[in-house]
Amino acid sequence: MTYDATFRVWRGDATGGDLQTFTVAVNEGEVVLDIIHRLRATQAGDLAVRWNCKAGKCGSCSAEINGRPRLMCLTRMSTFGEGETVTVTPLRTFPVIRDLVTDVSYNYDKAAQIPAFTPRAREKDGTHRMQQVDVERSQEFRKCIECFLCQDTCHVIRDHEENKAVFAGPRFLIRLAELDMHPLDVVDRKDAAQDEFGLGYCNITKCCSEVCPEGIHLTDNGIIPLKERVVDRKYDPLTWLGSRIGRRPKD
Amino acid sequence: MHAGRAVGSGGAVTATAPRRTGAVAPGHGNGMPAPRRAAIAARTLRTDRWWIQPLLVVLALVLFTIYATFRAFQNAHYFSEPYISPFYSPCITTACEGSSFPELFTGPSWISPALYVLIFPLGIRATCYYYRKAYYRSFWLSPPACAVAEPHKRYTGETRLPLLGQNIHRYALYAALVINVILFYDAVLAFRDETGAWGHMGLGTLILLANAVLLFLYSVSCHSCRHIVGGRLNNFSRHPLRYKAWMQVSRLNGRHMQLAWASLLSVVLTDVYVFLLATDTINDLRFF
């Protein structure tokens, strides 16, 4: 079953641009990325779009579809009515390069600043041993495909460009949580999380969790536990005292 | 020599880029569009009814606040032997109706006994991670919904007072757990009849019990509780009992929002039931 859909696609670059309207054929079972490809093949040969796997695993085709941060390859056309106009824009939190392609280097800069995984010394036989129950919390965050939809939707930087200097964003707060919870890691990242990566800027409105295509519970399993660990360190007089007088074991 | 990956200086397996040092400074926006972003004027391009959820939250919380404020200041109709309204429990002054709890002091009669204790349930709800999401979105519009621009020019989140104070949540939890115990005590006292004889039960007993259970589940499903029970540990395998407890609390934690609303509703319904009994509008349905 084929029908003609109306698409509005943002075209332009950092100097300006606008939403341009196209009528394009849609076949049964297609996703938004298929339609963007057809648009490029038939009507807009110079439309810039970043994509790779078409399977929701590479995190390249992030865009905003009808105002919602989504992966184009995972957004089925069947979720829209046939008469519904579908609007596709680039991620609004990052500088645009051209059309649907944005410059996400902010994220790579923040990623490089996270204190690296630092394991304890190896066992005598040269191995690192850990139990599955100890590491599975961190493994949830390893599902991240770095599509940066959570970074895009986070109002702390989406609505306040100036906060980019002081806030790492949800993707890197869960990276800090992942490492802080890791049974082998020996670096303490709690002070850095609060003082340098802006954990306190998060007001846990959970949009990052809502848009994550991997279904990672960023807020409940990552950011809030990290906030609680920071409270242990900086704001709870009892745990502070306990660790000072040696009555609170580190683990 | 083992054949593992080379370990860099300080034991880290990869290098870390230099970063700013020192405390973060609060952001100062000027409300102008950010440079080099796609020029899209609309605050949002969402086509769904994203405003319904914040609107419902505002309505529910405003109605609850009006009702709770009225009942807290009413200073009457909160006790009907053997039931006491959760708004007034524990009732700790000599001015209290009934005698469900030890009278600790003589308060001025014009001060409602509810005002001495309501700070505790208010404390856990005001600092609760779920309610924070609810009221930051609905009342402060920060943001009103995902990918909908907030109206504020400046945003510092929970980095400064007063919102830095949200970090006392675990202490609010401790206080709430004490209140939870007292509400179970009230439910046990409700296994009496109007004359104080034990071994009886009415609809009010079930209502008080259900209310105590829901409030308790709301407390233990809290994120701070999850952290205290086991979340702070990095090696669950060394603490099997705490790991089991953490798993149970985590299951409840997944329902924290539902428990927050269910327990809020149950407090109101319990209070309404006691009010109707105390004003002789209805009679308690006695089972035995």
| pLDDT, mean of residues B205-220 | 97
For chain B, which residues make up each domain, given as ranges? 47-278
Q: Is B46 on the interface with A (CB under 8 A)?
A: yes
**CATH value of A2-102 in 3.10.20.30, 3.40.50.150, 3.30.420.10, 3.40.30.10:** 3.10.20.30
ipTM of the modeled complex: 0.92
Is the CB of residue B50 less than 8 Å from the CB of residue B145?
yes
pLDDT tens digits for A144-166?
A: 999 999 999 999 999 999 999 99
Place B193 in a pLDDT band, splitting at 50, 70 and 90.
confident
Indicate if the pLDDT at residue B96 is higher than 90: no
pLDDT below 70 — which residues of chain A?
249-251
**In chain A, ranges of CATH 1.10.1060.10 domains:** 105-244
- Picking from B4, B19, B235, the nearest residue to A196 by CB comes out as B19
A113 touches chain B (CB under 8 A): yes
Please indicate whether, in this complex, the C-beta atoms of B36 and A196 are within 8 angstroms of each other.
no
Q: What is the mean pLDDT of residues B215-244?
A: 96
Residues A216, A211: Cα–Cα separation, whole Å? 9
List, for residues A206-235, the tens digit of each pLDDT value. Answer: 999 999 999 999 999 999 999 999 999 899
Q: Can you tell me the mean pLDDT for B80-106?
A: 86
Look at residue A251 in the predicted model and tell me its pLDDT: 62
Residue B255 has pLDDT above 50, yes or no: yes
Query: Confidence band (pLDDT; 50, 70, 90) for B32?
Result: low
User: What was the pLDDT predicted at B4?
Assistant: 41
Better pLDDT: A50 or B3? A50
Token digits for B10? 């300080």
Q: For residue B198, give the DSSP letter.
A: B
Regarding the domain delimited by A105-244, which CATH topology (the fold level of the hierarchy) does it fall under?
Answer: Fumarate Reductase Iron-sulfur Protein; Chain B, domain 2 (1.10.1060)
pLDDT at residue B9, as a whole number: 47
Q: What is the pLDDT of residue A21?
A: 97
DSSP state of B8: -
> Counting beta carbons within 10 angstroms of the beta carbon of residue B155, is it exposed (0 to 12), middle (13 to 18) or buried (19 or more)?
buried
CATH 3.10.20.30 domain position(s) in chain A = 2-102
The predicted structure's pLDDT at residue B17: 75
Chain A contact present for B31, CB below 8 A: no
pLDDT confidence of residue A138: 95
Nearest residue on chain A to B165, judged by CA atoms? A235
pLDDT in the model for residue A250 = 65
pLDDT band of B23, cuts 50, 70, 90: very low
Helices (H), chain A: 32-42, 105-113, 132-141, 149-153, 155-158, 170-181, 190-195, 207-211, 224-230, 237-244
Using an 8 Å CB-CB cutoff, list chain A residues near B34: 161
In the predicted model, is pLDDT for residue B134 greater than 90? yes
Measured in whole angstroms, the distance separating CA B141 from the mean position of its chain's CA atoms is 20
User: By percentage, how much of chain B surpasses pLDDT 70?
Assistant: 91
pLDDT for res A4: 96
Indicate if the pLDDT at residue B13 is higher than 80. Answer: no
Cβ–Cβ contact B158 with A under 8 A: yes
| pLDDT surpasses 50 at B114 | yes
Q: Give A 167-226 residues with CB within 8 A of chain B.
A: 167, 180-183, 186-187, 195-196, 198, 200-207, 210-211, 220, 224-225
> pLDDT band at residue B172, thresholds of 50, 70 and 90?
very high
Using an 8 Å CB-CB cutoff, list chain B residues near A131.
Answer: 235-237
Q: Which residue of B has its CA nearest to A179?
A: B234
Residue of B nearest to A17 (CA): B39
Q: Is the pLDDT of residue B268 over 50?
A: yes
Task: Give the list of residues 6+ apart from residue B173 with CB closer than 8 angstroms, or none.
Answer: B124, B219, B222, B224, B225, B228
Predicted confidence at residue B109, as pLDDT, reads 81
What confidence score (pLDDT) does residue B101 get? 82
Answer whether A21 touches B (CB < 8 Å): no
User: b/e for A122-153, b at 16 or more Cβ within 10 A?
Assistant: eeeeeeeebeebbbebbebbeebbbbbbbbbb
Matching residue, tokens 């054929």: A25
